[in-house]
Every structure is written in C-alpha cells, then in structure tokens.
Amino acid sequence: MSVLNGKNILLGVTGGIAAYKAAFLVRLLVKKGANVRVVMTESAKEFVTPLTLSTLSKNEVFSSFTEENDSTSFKEPKWNNHVALALWADLFLIAPATANTLSKMSTGNCDNLLLACYLSAKCPVYYAPAMDLDMYKHPTTEQDFKKLDSFGNIQIPAAFGELASGLVGQGRMAEPEEIVSFLERDLLKSLPLRGKKFLITAGPTYEAIDPVRFIGNHSSGKMGYAIAEVAAKLGAEVTLVSGPVNLKLENDSIKILSVTSAEEMYNAVHLHFNNCDVGILSAAVADYRPAEIASQKIKKKDNEDDLSLQLTKTKDILASLGKIKKNQFLVGFALETQNEEENAKLKLKKKNLDLIVLNSLRDKGAGFKTDTNKITLISKDNKVIPFPVKSKKEVAKDILEYIIDQIHA
C-alpha cells in the first residue's frame, strides 16, 4: 500500500501547457488511495477543464473565491473558504508551477484562490516547475527557487527535454509518475517508524476441547489491528500474529500470521521476536487449555448433568519474551476488573516490560468488541498517563506516539 493512501492532497494547477498532465496526475493519486481536491487558476482552465479534474478526483474543483448563482436566484454567492481548503490538506502539490505563480509565491502576492490557499497552508508544500528554457534559467527564477526552498517548500525538479517552444533543455514539468514517486519517497523519509520492525499480536486464542468445541474469550482483535495499521502507516515493518478474528487489514504491507491456539501464538511470536525492535502483545491469550483434547465430539449424556474438564496452564508468552529480550521495547496489555493500577504495575515489573497498557472493564467505552477504548499507559518507571475514551485508531496513535518518544529519546 502506498504511503499516499488516505492522504488529503490539495492539487494546485496553474496556467501552463503542462496543465494537461494534471488529469493524469489526479488519476494516479486517486489510484494510490489519496483524497484529491483541485484548486486551479483561471488561466489553467484554458488548458484543462474543471469538469475533467472534477470527474477524475470525484470532488468539486475550485478556482475563485466565490461562485455566482444564476441570474434567477436571489441567494448569496457561495464562498470558497481558502483557509478550510488549506487546513484540510495533508500536503499541497502545485503542478504545474509556472514562473508567474512561483514569483507570486516567493513575494507573498495573493491575487487568486490558489495563492490564498498557499499562504494559508500549514502542511508541506511541493511544487513542480514548468516553463520554457530561458524562463527557467532567468536569474529571477533562480532567486524564486532559492527563496521558496528557504521557506521550507519542496521542489520537484523539472526534467530535461523538448519544450513547447521547440527548444530542448531544462524546464519540462516532471511526468506524473515521477511526481507521485517523488512524493512517496519524500514522505517515507520523514516517517518516524521507518526502518523499525514491529511484532504485534491481536485477537483471542481458541483452545480446543474436541473437534467442535473450544475455550475462548470475547476479544475482537480490533485494538491490535488498529495498532498494526497505524504503525505501518508511520513507516514500520509490521508482522501481525492474529488469533481467529473477523477483520481485514487495509494495509497490504503488513505481514499477517494466522494462529488459533496459545501454543501456536507462542511459537509464531518466538520465531520473530529476535528480529523485531518493538513487540506489542495486545492479544487476549487463554490462560488455560484443556489437559486433553477429545478426538471425537463429546456427546451429551442423559444420565449426567455435569461435564468436568481438567485445565492446564498455557505458556505465558509475554513473560517468556521479557526473559529473553535484549534491546527490544516490549509492551503488554492488562485488562482488569479490580485494583486495576496496582495489578498492572505488578504485571509490568514481573514480566520485565517497558510499557503496559491498562484497560478496565468497568470503564464505559472500553473492553472487548467495541470501536472505542479507554486506556492508561504505565511506564517502566511507574509514570501513569491516563487518556479519555477514544476510537481504537486514536488510541493506537497515542500508544505509538509514546513508543516513538521512547525509542528516539
């Protein structure tokens, strides 16, 4: 899955011949999973129509501060809020960026909607220059490049090739495929977990009684899957060991290992733990399993009201990793119903963890099968950090932000 997946991209299109490539660029960005909105200058409409870009982006295209109603309407003109557009964007890409627009960007000139969005943007701004050779080499253009780069804007270099005038040289806008690749490479470089290997467990384990029945719990796996998705989005290489769940991953870069029992999860985790940087064990692993598994379905007997099962302890996966960990950052989960903080701190110390995530079944919005969770982080030095009820994806971000601070400290 591309790092652009789920990103809000505001594409600025200015009035140069290369504007026709904006249609291909929008299509590629959408295929990568990005949400694309287009803002264009009036002169850009001479090269590509708003209808084309609107159809490809599946969003309204903006080109002026107001949209006049037809002559029969008495409604006020609609205002296109440049601040809202700029704040919506995760990144602002201006392609093509003509010499005229670049000059205005460098001096703060603001005479159209695109430039108003640029001056309001708080996200990274990328620009792909497109102009003829002499314009590209002109000293004022070089000064604009230096100025824009000093502002923190990121230039996607123009290519060498045949230009609209017939000249051959620098100034040709990078091809849409090259622009998308540039964005992906640049975004990957800035991801805080790039190069880190994460091992995550999720879901329940099922311990067989016979070929039909099992001992299990109510874990849905939603918390572990959310952590895996967010970690991958932040650049981590993720291996997810999952018990039986009815969930699908959005990010196809995540390596998933499906297991059923606690023994299978133990073996899978130990196979990968030595090669990971961070282990997050959020799975609800069964503490006990049947001492013997019946080879045939256990039949109900009319003359017996009770069925006795002898249970034996499963291997403690988290404790076993705490004993062998070297430089790994190890995170466990504690789901408690009483003396929550005290029990979590005991587990943290006993199992040699770096962090424990505490849930309480007494908290509304926390626990199994919900889309929300309420957690408290407890660090190795017993620092307690409580959080309010949030979506599990937001909870995953909180957990990972803490981990990022620790491993980069």
Find how far residue 327's CA is from the centre of its chain.
Answer: 26
Q: Which residues are catalytic?
A: 217
Dihedral angle sign, alpha carbons of residues 206, 399, 196, 233? positive
Q: Name the DSSP class of 284.
A: B
SS (H, E, C) 108-141: CCCCCHHHHHHHHCCCCEEEEECCCHHHHHCHHH
Question: Mind giving me the DSSP string for 131-171?
Answer: --HHHHHSHHHHHHHHHHHHTT-EE-PPEEEE-TTS-EEEE
Closest alpha carbon to 113 in 15, 40, 215:
40
Coil, helix or strand for 391?
strand
Instruction: Kindly report the backbone phi and psi dihedral angles of residue 198, in degrees, each rounded to the nearest multiple of 5, phi listed first.
Output: -110, 135
The Cα-based distances of 310 to 57, 157, 209, 313, 328 in angstroms read 61, 70, 10, 10, 36
Report the relative pairing of strands 35-40 and 61-62 from DSSP bridges.
Answer: parallel
Q: Is the peptide bond prior to 176 cis by the omega test (within 30 degrees of 0)?
A: no
Angle between helices 50-57 and 22-31 (to 10 degrees): 10
The Cα-based distances of 401 to 4, 192, 219, 398 in angstroms read 20, 9, 24, 5
d(CA 379, CA 363) in angstroms, rounded, equals 21
Find how far residue 18's CA is from the centre of its chain.
Answer: 32
